[in-house]
Amino acid sequence: MIDIQQMGAVLDALPDPVFILSRSGKYVAVFGGSDARYYHDGSGLVGKYISDLVKTDKADWFLAQIERALESRTLLIVEYELGNKDVKGLPDEGPDQPIWFEGRIQALEFLIDDEPVVLWVASNISERHEMEIRLRELSDTDQLTSLFNRRKLERDLALHYETFTRHAVPSSILMFDLDNLKSINDSKGHHVGDEMILVVANTCLSEQRKADIVYRLGGDEFVICLPNTESDRALQFAERLQTVFRQELKRFSVGNIVATVSLGVATMLPEDHSYEDTLKRADGALYQAKALGKDKIVSV
């Protein structure tokens, strides 16, 4: 049988820190945390309260999780971050990257000082979290241009449409593609076509406003989402962008084959039943711009 002293040694050897926390947020006991790569000695926390250590909003969140675990009496698993801005007594201008934790919280079947308590195991998952973010970015990113792709566009537009329907905040869409790309490819080679696509992508990134997001749908087709933008301002932005495109792309022209961009502009309307309706109108406007002779802008 393991005696109390041996059990204490086992608990202290746990790589992740284990806390016994009361309903009021008091650190009743601290075990483990022996992995010095990720954790500091937590023995000094005993007797203190969460509200003594972290700022009010974060402390309220911790207390809410303790209450959830006590009410459910089942294992509660949460992910959370802690950074300099959350901890009292540390400067706000500290490291930009917070530490991410997975918390496993279980109500215990006894009271300490007449208060119910939980067991809280905190595991540092910063590396895993960073990898998950990177994998998500890769799944949302076009390989050639590093712009966002259609998958990300659809998620973003769904959110913008919800904001529009709930709060009447307008969003506009620019859809555009390269004129005469096939002819230039046939004349100069496909590597030149890729270079043109990169020029368009980089131009968009340099000209976009802070809230705008640029996407490559595939081939030479692009979309820029303009949140909180009415149709007249979206058209002005499209005109400015087209002027820059003409300047940046003119070196790719071959004889009478001119490298330009045609653009379609659409703004979310009350009669749109979904973001797809707005996107379809932008696509139709782009088709009209092509039909008018290319290097044109059509706003609907």
CATH value at residue 52: 3.30.450.20
Which among 108, 132, 156 is the end of a domain?
Answer: 132
Verify that 220 and 91 share a domain, yes or no: no
Task: Clarify whether residues 116 and 157 are in a common domain.
Answer: no
| 149 and 124, same domain (yes or no) | no
User: Are both 146 and 125 inside the same structural domain?
Assistant: no
Average pLDDT, the chain: 90
pTM above 0.75, yes or no: no
Res 96 pLDDT > 60: no
Of the candidate ranges 125-139, 158-172, 199-213, the one whose mean pLDDT is the lowest: 125-139
Q: Residue 137: is its pLDDT beyond 90?
A: no
Q: What is the pLDDT of residue 94?
A: 44
What percent of the chain stands above pLDDT 90? 71
Split into its structural domains, the chain has a count of 2
Q: Select from 132, 149, 169 the last residue of a domain.
A: 132
* Residue 114 shares a structural domain with residue 26: yes
CA distances from 150 to 97, 142, 215 (A): 29, 9, 7
Residues 154 and 128 in one domain: no
216 and 144 in a common domain: yes
Residue 293 confidence class, pLDDT cut points 50, 70, 90: very high
CATH number of the domain that residue 198 is part of: 3.30.70.270
Is residue 90 very low, low, confident or very high in pLDDT (cuts 50, 70, 90)?
low
Where is the domain boundary, 132, 166, 196?
Answer: 132
| Same domain? 148 vs 76 | no
CA dihedral 58, 59, 60, 63 (to 10 degrees): 130
Q: Quote the domain boundaries for residue 67.
A: 4-132
- Residue 8: the pLDDT is 75
pLDDT of residue 22: 97
Section 109-135 average pLDDT: 87
Asked if 124 contacts 99 with a C-beta cutoff of 8 angstroms, the reply is: yes
Residues 36 and 62 in one domain: yes
pLDDT at 210 > cutoff 70? yes
Whether residues 185 and 85 share a domain: the answer is: no
Q: Which of 29-38, 49-58, 81-90 has the highest mean pLDDT?
A: 49-58
Q: In the numeric block, which tokens belong to residue 117?
A: 């308590």
Q: How far apart are CA 42 and CA 143, in angstroms?
A: 45
Instruction: Please report which confidence band the pLDDT of residue 260 belongs to, taking 50, 70 and 90 as the band edges.
Output: very high
Instruction: Examine the pLDDT at 291 and tell me if it is beyond 90.
Output: yes
Give the pLDDT of residue 38. Answer: 72
Which has the higher per-residue pLDDT, 135 or 27? 27
Pair 95, 186 in one domain: no
pLDDT at 23 over 50: yes
Instruction: Specify whether 152 is located in the same domain as 111.
Output: no
In the structure, what pLDDT confidence band is assigned to residue 40 with cuts at 50, 70 and 90? confident
Q: What is the pLDDT of residue 138?
A: 67
What is the separation of C-alpha 44 from the centre of its chain, rounded to a whole number of angstroms?
Answer: 36
Residue 119 CA to residue 77 CA, distance in Å, equals 12
Please tell me the distance from the alpha carbon of residue 144 to that of residue 157, in angstroms, as a whole number: 23
